[in-house]
Amino acid sequence: MEGHQRKSITAEELKQHNKSGDLWISIQGKVYDVSDWAKDHPGGEIPLLNLAGQDVTDAFIAYHPGTAWQYLDKLFTGYHLKDFTVSEVSKDYRRLVMEFAKAGLFEKKGHIALFSLTSVALMFLVVLYGVLRCHSVWAHLGSAMLLGMLWMQSAYVGHDSGHYQVMSSRGYNKLAQIMSGNCLTGISIAWWKWTHNAHHIACNSLDHDPDLQHIPVFAVSSRFFTSITSSFYGRKLNFDPFARFLISYQHWTYYPVMIVARINLYVQTFLLLFSKRQVPDRGFNLIGIMVFWSWFPLLVSYLPNWPERFMFVLASFTVTSIQHVQFTLNHFSADVYVGLPTGNDWFEKQTSGTIDISCSSTMDWFFGGLQFQLEHHLFPRLPRCHLRQVSPLVRELCKKHKLPYRSLTFWEANKSTIRTLRAAALEARDLANPAPKNLLWEAINTHG
């Protein structure tokens, strides 16, 4: 009967609903209106806006447990996507997700959270003892380095709890986020979620992924030299003479900047929490930040003199910079693109924008499981204790579909990143520069 005839729209018609207030998406060919829901979306509005007006099945499957499907019915428009097809890559990807779900991998979290929180607590006690009870400068230096390691491990707990529930309830999970992020590291979990969700959805998009937008300090591609507009920050990333100067030497400044990069994260935290932007749990985040800025300066003040205080802060930042380096190794030298991500090449975009760090299983704790960056991007809800287990399956799937699976040693990944930064640096120097050249200047700049 005509009254029961299925309504359908084309992909082009769906694309028209791609903005805030008029935001439609398709999941398995069924079209949903998430215009009003977007502001309440736990992952924020940005991921939905980045994939608006298209089929987002793979992304939905990646980020949502099976229980989330029940909430879609009330958002259904009654329309189905005409000529809806699924690529062979997506079919294989969804098959893997189903296999992992049937095996209970998403629910089997092991005791990672318990071990991590216990180790963080023990390290914190040792740091306190080293500063408050020991008088040796070497003990203070060791405490600073241990504090840096504590920050790294605490960040991994915050990262895990942001992707899936590591505690027995959502309330305790949120507490773990605030404690491990805001209270212990001084970095807001709200800021992390805001940027990290956008990064996952638009992995290595120069204008949509905030994790690549570091103008004026770094540029991983010469495409930044056209002063592209950041859709995430809503402003132009100006490639002015100052940015050109800094980027021209970025392969030299990379490691020193990584040491002090934490300062930028503190600044970004305050900018978000005191902005007019809607911030989930703003009050809890502010309280957590106040806790950090109470205990950390107080602890440093117990050191006997300013040189030791400076040494303590610098040493702790230096150790933690290893983690900052690791995060950039996973993406800086991978493929990049300009524009919005598309839902129908989810698997392909993740493989092209990520690089794994190969290491022995004994180093899994050190890298927090994130050395399996591609596996994490494809299965963000998968507890890190399973990432090494599923790695061969991902490698085989990439091989089957002739997609890149890049796994480098830590040393090789560093070299690859420096090469990428150097290539962009040399391009920045070569841009219309009317200044006269001399042999000495050329020799220095040519060899970096």
What CATH number has the domain bearing residue 71? Answer: 3.10.120.10
- Whether 102 shows a pLDDT value over 80: the answer reads yes
- Are 154 and 77 part of one and the same domain? no
Q: Is residue 425 part of a domain?
A: no
Q: Is residue 423 part of a domain?
A: no
Last residue of a domain, one of 295, 330, 365: 330
Q: How many CB atoms lie within 10 A of CB 69?
A: 13
Q: Report whether 215 contacts 226 (CB < 8 A).
A: no
Task: Provide the pLDDT confidence category of residue 110 given band limits of 50, 70 and 90.
Answer: confident
Last residue of a domain, one of 330, 345, 380: 330
Phi/psi of residue 208, each to 5°?
-120, -20
pLDDT tens by residue, 169-208: 788 888 889 999 999 999 999 999 999 999 999 999 999 9
- Are 13 and 136 part of one and the same domain? no
- Whether 419 shows a pLDDT value over 90: the answer reads yes
Q: Is residue 12 part of a domain?
A: yes
Q: What is the pLDDT of residue 433?
A: 55
- Whether 155 shows a pLDDT value over 80: the answer reads yes
- Are 178 and 238 part of one and the same domain? yes
Segments forming the whole domain that contains residue 120:
111-330
Last residue of a domain, one of 270, 303, 330: 330
Q: What is the pLDDT of residue 40?
A: 85
Tokens found for residue 27: 């999941």
Respond yes or no on whether the N-terminal peptide bond of residue 380 is cis (omega within 30° of 0).
no
Average pLDDT for 299-310: 97
- Are 198 and 292 part of one and the same domain? yes
Q: Is residue 436 part of a domain?
A: no
Q: Is residue 362 part of a domain?
A: no
- Whether 272 shows a pLDDT value over 70: the answer reads yes
Average pLDDT for 239-248: 95
Rounded alpha-carbon distances, angstroms, from residue 55 to 218, 378, 394, 426: 34, 17, 23, 40
- Whether 440 shows a pLDDT value over 90: the answer reads no
Q: Is residue 411 part of a domain?
A: no
Average pLDDT for 144-170: 89
- Are 72 and 160 part of one and the same domain? no
More confident residue, 218 or 44: 218
Task: Provide the pLDDT confidence category of residue 167 given band limits of 50, 70 and 90.
Answer: confident
Q: What is the DSSP string of 91-109?
A: HHHHHHHHHHHHTTTTT--
- Are 184 and 259 part of one and the same domain? yes
Task: Provide the pLDDT confidence category of residue 421 given band limits of 50, 70 and 90.
Answer: very high
- Are 300 and 225 part of one and the same domain? yes
- Are 157 and 212 part of one and the same domain? yes
Q: Is residue 79 part of a domain?
A: yes
Task: Provide the pLDDT confidence category of residue 6 given band limits of 50, 70 and 90.
Answer: confident
- Are 167 and 256 part of one and the same domain? yes
Q: Report whether 209 contacts 198 (CB < 8 A).
A: yes
State percent of the chain over pLDDT 90.
77
Q: Locate tokens 């428009």: which residue?
A: 77
Q: Is residue 443 part of a domain?
A: no
Mean pLDDT of the chain, nearest integer: 91
**Among 74-78, 308-312, 379-383, the range of highest mean pLDDT:** 308-312
In 133-249, alpha helices (H): 137-163, 170-177, 184-185, 189-201, 241-247
Q: What is the pLDDT of residue 4?
A: 57
- Are 53 and 145 part of one and the same domain? no
- Whether 432 shows a pLDDT value over 70: the answer reads no
- Are 75 and 122 part of one and the same domain? no
Q: What is the pLDDT of residue 218?
A: 96
Q: Report whether 387 contacts 376 (CB < 8 A).
A: yes
- Whether 409 shows a pLDDT value over 60: the answer reads yes
- Are 279 and 148 part of one and the same domain? yes
Q: State how many domains the chain has.
A: 2
Least trusted range by pLDDT, from 135-149, 334-348, 349-363: 334-348
